[in-house]
Amino acid sequence: MTAREWFIRAQNEGFAIGAFNVDNFEIFKAICLAGQKKRSPVMMEFSSGEAGYFGLKNIVDLVANARKQYGIPILLNLDHAKTVEDCMEALRLRLRSGDFAVDNSSTSEVKVPHTSEVSFVGFDDIHFDGSELSYEQNVENTKRVVAAAHAKNLLVEGELDKLSGSSEVHTEQIDLEILKKSYSDPLRAAKFVAETGVDIFASVFGNIHGTFPNQPDLDIELLKKIKEALPNTFLSLHGGSGIPAEQIREAIKVGRIVKVNVNTEIRQAFKDALNEKIGENPNEYTYYKLASDIVMAVTAVVEGKIDVFGSAGKI
């Protein structure tokens, strides 16, 4: 199934697919194991920093191998790409599976038909984040990414309203009045989607990157209006960390959210487990001997998210 087919199914059946950020190889393994244990599709996503660390080609190869090794659908997303060039680089790595061995340098574009019959390797979804640009520039750049992505049967996620915060454990309070000014306006969102042709819209209605001591509640009424304004567009929920499970479930139900991004809680589980293992084993110099417990700690967090998103048992 393609990413589009998975999201249609998710929308129809009322579940969301977890889009988990991959900061390192232990987290990569944990996402695979959690998906396998829960019989759930998963989306792996790489921010610019994470993609730079792994290398795009390594990411594509690792995911292609993992799809076979773990026997689960793993969708691949480029998360918050800020430039058109970064998006194009990822697009070039999407090939029909039979073409996997050919040279995929920038000079050998492979044209593929717009159909779900073809099996692909590479990215399934590109999130172009032009939220820091002017409205006009954001529309112009997003349209360029959409044209190139749709020619290769990829989905594009667009972002209009900049999501506050960063994927960290914040100790400072957030100003909720200022935050509310960044929430999505349904009519403006509908105009943006109509002008750009994006498949997924990154909606903002109380979600925020990272966790805060005064985590805001999701504005479910606003989400309802966003969905009414965008009946034919998939909605994503960024900043899935720190939001109570019942609010996430309500958002999936009311807004037909199909993709929930989670980063901070995963990084936190990894770091805490790493600190613990190193503390317990000061004389162990073989890292992989410590790594399996760290992987299991992260797996448990991902499994918990899969349960909340309702995607368990869908494969």
Residue positions annotated with a catalytic role: 79
CB of 285 to Zn ion, least distance (A): 36
Least separation in angstroms between residue 264's CB and Zn ion is 10
> What is the 3 state secondary structure string of the chain?
CCHHHHHHHHHHHCCCEEEEECCCHHHHHHHHHHHHHHCCCEEEEECHHHHHHHCHHHHHHHHHHHHHHHCCCEEEEEEEECCHHHHHHHHHCCEEHHHCCCCCCCCCCCCCCCCCCCCEECCCEEEEECCCCCHHHHHHHHHHHHHHHHCCCCEEEEECCCCCEEEEECCCCCCHHHHHCCCCCHHHHHHHHHHHCCCEEEECCCCCEEECCCCCCCCHHHHHHHHHHCCCCEEEECCCCCCCHHHHHHHHHHHCEEEEEECHHHHHHHHHHHHHHHHHCCCCCCHHHHHHHHHHHHHHHHHHHHHHHCCCCCC
Write down the least CB distance from residue 21 to Zn ion, Å. 8
Is the CB of 36 or the CB of 83 nearer to Zn ion?
83
> Which one of 149-157, 232-240, 245-253, 278-286 is the stretch in contact with Zn ion (CB under 5 A)?
232-240
**Residue among 142 and 261 whose Cβ is closer to Zn ion:** 261
Count of residues engaged in binding Zn ion, rule: CB under 5 A:
2
Task: Give which of 53, 60, 57 is closest to 44, Cα–Cα.
Answer: 60
Least distance from Zn ion to the Cβ atom of residue 80, Å: 6
Closest separation in Å from C-beta 277 to Zn ion:
29
Query: Could you give the CA distance from residue 58 to residue 26 in angstroms, rounded to a whole number?
Result: 15
Instruction: Between 19 and 294, name the residue whose CB sits nearer to Zn ion.
Output: 19
* Closer CB to Zn ion, 166 or 214, in the complex: 166
- Residue closer to Zn ion, measured from CB, 96 or 238: 238
127 part of the interface to Zn ion, by CB under 5 A: no
Per-residue interface string for the shown chain with Zn ion, residues 255-294, x marking contact by CB under 5 A:
------x---------------------------------
Q: What angle do CA 23, 123, 258 make, to 5 degrees?
A: 80
Binding track, positions 155-194, relative to Zn ion; x by CB under 5 A: ----------------------------------------
Stretch of residues binding Zn ion (CB under 5 A), selected from 4-12, 89-97, 106-114, 253-261: 253-261
Which among 183-191, 235-243, 269-277, 292-300 is the span making contact with Zn ion, rule CB under 5 A? Answer: 235-243
CB of 210 to Zn ion, least distance (A): 10
Closest residue to Zn ion using C-beta atoms: 238
- Nearer CB in complex with Zn ion: 257/290: 257
| Integer Rg of the chain from CA | 19
Among 238, 259, 267, 305, binds Zn ion (CB under 5 A): 238
Contact set with Zn ion (CB under 5 A): 238, 261
